[in-house]
Amino acid sequence: MSVLSMTKTLFKNLFHGPYTVLYPIKEKEKFDRTRGKIEISIDDCIFCSMCQRRCPTGAITVEKAKATWSIEPFSCIQCGYCTEVCPKKCLHMNNQYTAPSNEKTRNEFVKCMNTQSPSE
């Protein structure tokens, strides 16, 4: 009986075709709840560093004095902890995958401070 079961599985696999997708060449289907790369609205950020403390891999770096926020996308495991803990909700997960690369990169965001001099 197991020979018939194995034969059925064999024929099914022969005529089905590949189960994988040639990802960067062919885009993979994205689902509604797909976790993707982290995006930030830098103008809304208060640089509280809660996302940096909550990140289990240490992929996020926040410097309040310089008003910079940075992330290493290939160190990020897309757990979503940083988006949950952000008090201003300026972090969100985009429904896209990180583009493949040969090098480890760091995405840096700098808040533009508009300093106005007192008018004379």
Domain-located, residue 82: yes
User: What is the average per-residue pLDDT within 46-75?
Assistant: 94
Helix (H) or strand (E) holding 63, with range, is strand 60-63
By three-state DSSP, how is residue 3 classified?
helix
pLDDT score at 120: 41
User: What is the average per-residue pLDDT within 71-100?
Assistant: 89
Domain-located, residue 15: no
Domain-located, residue 41: yes
For residue 34, how many C-alpha atoms fall within 13 Å in the half-sphere facing its CB? 12
- The parent domain of residue 74 ranges over 29-110
CATH code, 103? 3.30.70.3270
User: What is the average per-residue pLDDT within 29-49?
Assistant: 87
Domain count, the chain: 1
Q: Looking at the predicted structure, is the pLDDT value of residue 1 above 60?
A: no
Domain-located, residue 5: no
The pTM of this model reads 0.69
Domain-located, residue 9: no
Domain-located, residue 12: no
